[in-house]
Amino acid sequence: MVRVAALLGAIGAVIVLFVSFAWARPDATGDPTLVLVGTFSSPMYVTAPPGDRAQLFVVEQAGRIRIVRDGAQLPSPFLDIRSLVSSGGERGLLSLAFPPDYGSSRRFYVYYTARSPLGDVTVAEFQAPVGADAADPGTRRTVLRISHPRGNHNGGQLQFGADGHLYIGTGDGGGGGDPDQAGQDLGSLAGKLLRIDPRPGAGGAPYSVPPDNPFVGRAGARGEIWSYGLRNPWRFSFDRETGDLTIADVGQGSWEEIDFALSSAGRGRGANYGWGCWEGRHAYGPNDGNPECRPMPAQVQPVWEYSHSRGCSITGGYVVRDPTLPALNGRYVYGDYCRSALWSIRLREPAAQDDRLLGLSVAGLSSFGEDACGRVYAISSDGPVFRLEAVGRPANSPCPAAKPPVRCRVPKVVGLKLAAARSRIRRANCRVGRVRYIRSARARGRVVRQSPRAGARRARGTRVHLTLSRGRR
Ligand SMILES: [Ca+2]
């Protein structure tokens, strides 16, 4: 009897061990995990100046920006504009963007809702003295202001595109159901993705409109508009490798959506994303009778949507290009403010594929962010900021250096036979281009001319054209 009990006990122990092992299976090396970077006061966003591998800038909702340098938070803020910012709910200091020339210009841009006039959506420029850890609040220059008396749908994202222009995501003006019918109104800056050059323009203008914006010169339309039909594009981003644009547009009562625009197909130039006539891929019934929805406008369909059985407010993220996190390379990481689970998906036109849980969660997910070397962060409005890292990566590993692009260094092939020239050109990351023959007395059967010349540096895969001598007849 004792022996039977012991045997049963042993079997039980094995089962318990097996079950607990199955539950507590350690993540495999290389899987994504969350590493705490620091805790802040209602953090909304993180970013870093281009090429700055040591620092991370953390935007706090009330109106401060903090610097984390080499993993440690600096004691005093980089910027404190709490006296200008109306904060709480969806309002506050919402994002920050550094232009490509920040290293020399020291100018940067913030997006906030103003105290006065209350709620005005505001894009402002500040400057930080070279070498200083704090910007000078006295350098403030208002770039753009949009009246916004309602408290919600303030938009809030700033991003510089690879074209050097500043993209600005604005909400539809708030309330519910787009009461101003702003989304489809090309005369309104609300419910849009805008594209401007934020530096002072001609004749004292606070900014200028790039002449290749889609609605420049159209009567009744604002030239600043890049794409429209958005409800509250709280977060949008560019793929740092391809330049593709992804907008996560927060839905009304039923559908959350992801809009995706390939850089090679115009990056959403002039696109109508449908709001307030469409919510996700569905006609938005309450606005059926609105003139803007009669007839229903054609919309650029989202590549992904999910219903409110999964969440309530999408938090858009980034296509991961972190070389130290190959498990997520090329996947778009996103989440939802109302659910803590993080997801990743492959963005494709016309439909995204392979939506998966990451197996990680962040409560109160306010935003994602990306640093100068492409590492991605997940931010909780409760305070913590996490970095997505590969399991097994040593703690506080430095930001990896960007790999220089592989280039074609044109080799000298004059004097070689064709086979030898081909192999030398391939080894130099170039390609063999046109091969033609001439009748010439010199160097029969060998290369007598090449273009480009030897030593030139060109993009990878550049074609090298060859001229060979056949010899005289
Ligand atoms: Ca839409």
The pLDDT tens digits for 69-110 are: 988 999 999 999 999 999 999 999 999 999 999 999 999 999
Ligand 1 geometric centre to CA of 228 (Å): 9
State the Cα–Cα distance between residues 441 and 472, nearest whole angstrom. Answer: 5
In this prediction, residue 471 carries a pLDDT of 84
Q: In this structure, are residues 447 and 418 in contact, taking their beta carbons and an 8 Å threshold?
A: yes
- The two structure tokens encoding residue 199: 């530096």
In this prediction, residue 460 carries a pLDDT of 82
Across-strand partners of 245? 238, 261
The pLDDT tens digits for 241-250 are: 999 999 999 9
Ligand 1 geometric centre to CA of 87 (Å): 28
State the Cα–Cα distance between residues 366 and 347, nearest whole angstrom. Answer: 22
Ligand 1 geometric centre to CA of 377 (Å): 26
Ligand 1 geometric centre to CA of 387 (Å): 30
DSSP string, 341-377: EEEEEE--SS--EEEEEEEEE-TTEEEEEE-TT--EE
Nearest alpha carbon to residue 222 among 170, 177, 273: 170
The pLDDT tens digits for 158-168 are: 999 999 999 99
Between 36-50, 173-187, 227-241, 395-409, the lowest mean confidence (pLDDT) is in 395-409
Ligand 1 geometric centre to CA of 183 (Å): 10
Ligand 1 geometric centre to CA of 342 (Å): 22
Arithmetic mean of pLDDT, 137-152: 96
Domains of the chain, each with CATH number or no CATH:
32-390 (2.120.10.30), 407-469 (3.30.10.20)
State the Cα–Cα distance between residues 229 and 2, nearest whole angstrom. Answer: 75
Ligand 1 geometric centre to CA of 305 (Å): 9
Ligand 1 geometric centre to CA of 272 (Å): 8
Kindly list the strands in the beta sheet with 384-390, ordered across the sheet, starting from the edge strand earlier in the chain: 32-39, 384-390, 376-380, 365-370
Ligand 1 geometric centre to CA of 218 (Å): 23
Ligand 1 geometric centre to CA of 308 (Å): 15
Ligand 1 geometric centre to CA of 40 (Å): 33
In this prediction, residue 403 carries a pLDDT of 62
DSSP string, 151-190: SS----EEEE-TTSPEEEE----SSSS-TT--TT-TT-ST
Ligand 1 geometric centre to CA of 261 (Å): 13
Q: In this structure, are residues 352 and 318 in contact, taking their beta carbons and an 8 Å threshold?
A: no
Nearest alpha carbon to residue 397 among 430, 369, 427, 371: 371
Q: In this structure, are residues 168 and 196 in contact, taking their beta carbons and an 8 Å threshold?
A: yes
Ligand 1 geometric centre to CA of 316 (Å): 14
- Provide the pLDDT confidence category of residue 18 given band limits of 50, 70 and 90: very low
Ligand 1 geometric centre to CA of 229 (Å): 7
Stated pTM of the model:
0.82
